[in-house]
Amino acid sequence: MLEGNRVSRISVRGFAVASATAVTTVGAVVGVAAGGQQQQGSSDPIEATAADSTLLADIPAGQQAVAQTASLTQQADVQSTAADAEARKSAEEAARKQAAKDAKAKKAAADKAAAEKLAKEREAKEKEKEEVASRSASRDASSFPQQASYTVAEVQAMARQIVPSGQFQCFSNIVDHESTWNYKATNPSSGAYGLVQALPAGKMASAGADWQTNPATQIKWGLNYMNERYGSPCDAWSFWQANGHY
């Protein structure tokens, strides 16, 4: 009879676990099983009761474990999502700050470069003006011997001694276009005269009374005119290129 009681308890436990029904239903099944055991004359009712009590305790514990596992998984997912969002936010903020810092540094570098360039340009212009003034003081028209006529090479040699080296090519470009280095060139329609085609021609008298026959006087006047009106021969040449005259 003891062996029969054990089989009955195993059957009830297996049925309860497999069906996963409510506790009340399991209790009813256990009651039926217990009644059957008593009818069979079980000699150990205490053992049957203890086994049935264990069965009732096992099922809720399993359900609770599943629920707790699901809850912990959900909490972990929520925490992971929050952590990812916070990390992404921190990364975006760091990137924004770095971009602002880089932009500020780039602007500062550009401003510094522009200021340095402007300072160099001003320094170069001042140096050129000083050089022009120095050459004008030491090499004016009277410094060159008077001749009855001058070749193009001689006129250009005079210009190289009067015009600053950094401005000579620009000065030469203008003279090439205006008179092809002919110090007696005359425009028949306007009356412009000389190397730089002064108009009216008599303006060159401010540089010397011999303006009609002395290339050095014309060069001196032309250089002063370009400096005063445009800033330098190269600035005058830029204007000439854009307008076809100066």
End-to-end CA distance of the chain: 132
Distant-in-sequence contacts of 4-8, Cβ < 8 A, 24+ apart: 4/37, 4/40, 5/37, 5/40, 5/42, 5/44, 5/47, 5/48, 8/33, 8/36, 8/37, 8/40
State yes or no: pLDDT of 205 exceeds 90.
yes
Please state, as a whole number, how many other Cβ atoms lie within 10 Å of the Cβ of residue 203: 13
State yes or no: pLDDT of 33 exceeds 90.
no
- The crossing angle, in degrees rounded to 10, of helices 233-243 and 215-230 is 80
Q: What is the pLDDT of residues 39-65, one digit of tens each?
A: 444 445 555 454 555 544 555 666 777
Domain ranges, ordered by start, for the chain: 2-77, 139-243
> Was domain 139-243 assigned CATH 2.60.40.420?
no
More confident call, 158 vs 28: 158
Q: What is the pLDDT of residues 74-129, one digit of tens each?
A: 888 898 898 889 898 989 999 999 999 899 998 999 999 899 898 888 888 777 66
What's the angle, vertex CA 21, arms to CA 18 and CA 22, rounded to 5?
150
